[in-house]
């Protein structure tokens, strides 16, 4: 497994070794020892989620501040454009984002630590996204940031996405930073 820290400190891109033959393939999706060797201090994962989204869907930008959680994210079916935005108030990369294609073909796994808002877009077909969480989901301790906040400047691969009502009503990064909870990260 090749593990590389991105330009946003704490955010890692993991590329598992895939072994394939006429029967199919095998890959190690998660190896604590390899990630630890790469300098990634992982907490215990306590919850796994799975979602499916159709073409044109944007989900995000979501995060949890009460019981801050990190996410190990992969796409076992289809292709999604993953986005992670640094929302850590004291970070040198505050407001910066990473966008990366994660797919069943490239087998990329993304580790996003607490203090990042995440989202994704499916531009064609449909995609399944799996997340391992480092904390249990807490609906009263979560929030989101507007998917197209101009201060962040994400170039999504769809112009008029399908959004949840919650994501349509999200505030901006500036709105989040003005909240006392923003001091969590």
pLDDT tens digits, 115-164: 999 999 999 999 999 999 999 999 999 999 999 999 999 999 998 999 99
Quick check: 41 pLDDT over 80? no
Indicate whether 6 belongs to any domain.
no
User: Residue 11: exposed, middle, or buried by beta-carbon count in 10 A (0-12, 13-18, 19+)?
Assistant: buried
Indicate whether 34 belongs to any domain.
no
Do 11 and 116 touch, CB atoms closer than 8 A? yes
- Rounded to an integer, the average pLDDT of 34-49 is 85
Quick check: 43 pLDDT over 80? no
Indicate whether 19 belongs to any domain.
no
For residue 85, what is the domain's CATH number? 2.60.120.10
Indicate whether 8 belongs to any domain.
no
Instruction: Output 27 or 184, whichever has higher pLDDT.
Output: 184
Please tell me the predicted confidence (pLDDT) of residue 87.
Answer: 98
Give the confidence band of 39 by pLDDT, cuts at 50, 70, 90.
confident
Indicate whether 117 belongs to any domain.
yes
The whole-angstrom separation of Cα 127 and Cα 54 is 7
The whole-angstrom separation of Cα 97 and Cα 61 is 11
Catalytic residue numbers read 62, 131
Give the confidence band of 32 by pLDDT, cuts at 50, 70, 90.
confident
Instruction: Determine the structural domain holding residue 121 and report its residue range.
Output: 43-184
- Taking Cα atoms as reference points, which of 92, 91, 110 lies closest to residue 100? 110
Indicate whether 10 belongs to any domain.
no
Indicate whether 126 belongs to any domain.
yes
Do 111 and 51 touch, CB atoms closer than 8 A? no
Do 128 and 66 touch, CB atoms closer than 8 A? no
Indicate whether 148 belongs to any domain.
yes
The whole-angstrom separation of Cα 132 and Cα 112 is 10
- Rounded to an integer, the average pLDDT of 54-75 is 97
Do 104 and 175 touch, CB atoms closer than 8 A? no
Give the total number of structural domains in the chain: 1
> Strand pairing partners for 2?
15
Please tell me the predicted confidence (pLDDT) of residue 179.
Answer: 97
């Amino acid at each position: 497994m090749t593990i590389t820290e991105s330009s946003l400190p704490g955010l890692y891109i993991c590329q598992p070794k895939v072994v394939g033959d006429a029967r199919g393939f095998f890959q190690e999706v998660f190896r604590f020892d390899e990630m630890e060797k790469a300098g990634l201090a992982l907490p215990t994962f306590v919850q796994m989620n799975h979602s499916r989204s159709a073409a044109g869907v944007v989900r995000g930008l979501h995060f949890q501040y009460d019981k801050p959680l990190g996410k190990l994210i992969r796409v076992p079916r289809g292709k999604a454009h993953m986005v992670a935005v640094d929302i850590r108030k004291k970070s040198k990369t505050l407001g910066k984002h990473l966008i990366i294609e994660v797919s069943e073909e490239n087998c990329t796994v993304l580790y996003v630590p607490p203090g990042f808002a995440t989202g994704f877009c499916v531009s064609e077909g449909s995609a399944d996204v799996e997340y391992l969480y480092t904390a249990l989901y807490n609906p009263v301790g979560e929030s989101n940031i507007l998917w197209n906040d101009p201060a962040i400047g994400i170039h999504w691969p769809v112009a008029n996405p399908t959004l949840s009502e919650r994501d349509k009503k999200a505030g901006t990064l500036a709105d989040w930073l003005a909240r006392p909870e923003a001091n969590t990260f």
